[in-house]
Amino acid sequence: MTFARLGLIDPLLAALATLDYKTPTPVQTQAIPAILAGRDLMAAAQTGTGKTAGFALPLLQSLATVGAPVASNSVRALVLVPTRELAEQVCESIRAYGQNLPLRTCAVYGGVSINPQMMKLRKGVDIVVATPGRLLDLHRQNAIKFGQLRILVLDEADRMLDLGFSRELDAVFAALPKRRQTLLFSATFSDAIRSMAGTILNDPLTIETSPRNTAARSVKQWAIPVDKKRKAELFSYLLKRRRWGQVLVFVKTRKGVEQLVAILQGQGVGADSIHGDKPQPARLRALERFKAGEVQILVATDVAARGLDIDDLPLVVNFDLPIVAEDYIHRIGRTGRAGATGEAVSLVCADEVTQLAAIETLTRQMLQRVEEGGFAPDHRVPLTNTAGQVLKKPKKPKKPKIAGTPGPAERKGGVATPQVRQGRSGARAGGRKSAPKTASRRSS
């Protein structure tokens, strides 16, 4: 199969040749003809399988060949995404695919000044990639109008619901024309997304190029049990011992991100961070430094799980397991992209066994546990299974008793008399306090 056989026009084929795209992926093979035919679509595909091109290529062709030029403050196609990083990534990809077409594209999102975005929209834009909140702000100020809108794309719609965009999405849907083509693309689809799809899609074609909620086979996954307080020490040890190159590290909290970055920088390791407290320009600068190889380690919260497209990223480390199991798939989907191989390592402590069980249930596979010498945890991680069950906690091996070792009383400076031992045994058996024990206290 070639891109030419999918019915794409010459300007798009020339752009794909420039980008060295040779063979369409399964999701592209199924989605592109359906979108060109005008069908509504609900497509599930693993992260890194080319779903952005799957909707961007036919969208560009539809706009280039059909319809009047875009009017002032208007938009002809809208792509909704959950995060600023993903908005920039998708916009950059669309511009690359449409480099030979006279179409205008821009990204709008919060965290930066709204005025430059309003200026870009004044002349009209063919394709707007937006986060829901900023899009509504622009619409309320009459900076963007939807009268010419023909195509709506929801990319990573499940993540938008996870981030609490449900009301914003409802407000956007209410403002859009009823007659439109609607496309849903995501690596996973929750029941809530499927319910929403039933209200906004018209007789959609459903595409699932891989089993629901599975991780890419090109990513080798395993877990290292470790005590929570020793995670940073273990990460630094592995970084040196295994001679890791570039690493994308996911940490649960913003505070935890900055703490790990400070530790690494203190050890002379080039590290930067991305999280919700950082201004958008700083987040973009950190990503660009990482892509350029100026820093070795990029530490991020889940804000970066969907939206980072890094060529040949070899390794993802889950310093903390995600609270939402689906985010595990998106985290490790940053490696092993576009047919490449990658590795995903999770540092797991006993407190995270519930999240571990949820991940193994979702992915239908057990994470192999590999203990690292010198870092065996004092608090053992309970066993789990793919049914979401936390099994019996493994027992710590008992230390052998050494002859002549003093007992508890001797270590405290007292004498353990036979009466005291008998009293303790009696208390365990009958649950009563013994008189000899009281006497022992008086004599001491």
Q: Are residues 152 and 178 in the same domain?
A: yes
In degrees and rounded to multiples of 5, residue 205 shows phi and psi of: -85, 130
The answer for 388, left when phi > 0, alpha when psi is -120 to 50, beta otherwise, is left
Q: Does residue 233 share a domain with residue 172?
A: no
Boundaries of domain holding 276: 219-369
- Could you say which of 208, 233, 266 is where a domain stops? 208
Q: What percent of the chain has pLDDT over 70?
A: 81
Does one domain contain both 123 and 176? yes
Q: Give the whole-angstrom CA distance, residue 402 versus residue 219.
A: 48
236 and 126 share one domain:
no
CATH number at residue 349: 3.40.50.300
Q: What is the pLDDT of residues 152-203, one digit of tens each?
A: 999 988 778 777 788 899 999 999 999 999 999 876 677 777 888 888 999 9
| Per-residue model confidence (pLDDT) at position 426 | 42
Q: Is residue 409 part of a domain?
A: no
Report phi then psi at 316, rounded to 5.
Answer: -120, 135
Q: Is 428 part of any domain?
A: no
Residues 139 and 248 in one domain: no
Query: Is the pTM for the entire model greater than 0.75?
Result: no
Residue finishing a domain among 323, 346, 369 = 369
Tens-digit pLDDT profile for residues 353-398 = 999 999 998 888 889 999 999 999 999 999 887 666 776 655 554 5
Please count the other Cβ atoms lying within 10 Å of the Cβ belonging to residue 341. Answer: 14
- Which range, 63-77, 194-208, 409-423, has the best average confidence (pLDDT)? 63-77
Mean pLDDT of 193-219: 78
Same domain, 254 and 183: no
What pLDDT was estimated at residue 216?
A: 59
Residue 408 lies in a domain: no
166 and 278 co-located in one domain: no
For residue 31, the Cα-to-chain-centroid distance in whole angstroms is 24
Q: What is the 3-state secondary structure (H, E, C) of the chain?
A: CCCHHHCCCHHHHHHHHHCCCCCCCHHHHHHHHHHHCCCCEEEECCCCCCHHHHHHHHHHHHHHHCCCCCCCCEEEEEEECCCHHHHHHHHHHHHHHCCCCCCCEEEECCCCCCHHHHHHHCCCEEEEEECHHHHHHHHHCCCCECCCCCEEEEECHHHHHHCCCHHHHHHHHHHCCCCCEEEEEECCCCHHHHHHHHHHCCCCEEEECCCCCCCCCCEEEEEEECCHHHHHHHHHHHHHHCCCCCEEEECCCHHHHHHHHHHHHHCCCCEEEECCCCCHHHHHHHHHHHHCCCCCEEEECHHHCCCCCCCCCCEEEECCCCCCCHHHHHHHCCCCCCCCCEEEEEEECHHHHHHHHHHHHHHCCCCEECCCCCCCCCCCCCCECCCCCECCCCCCCCCCCCCCCCCHHHHCCCCCCHHHHHHHHHHHHHCCCCHHHHHHHHHC
187/271 same-domain check: no
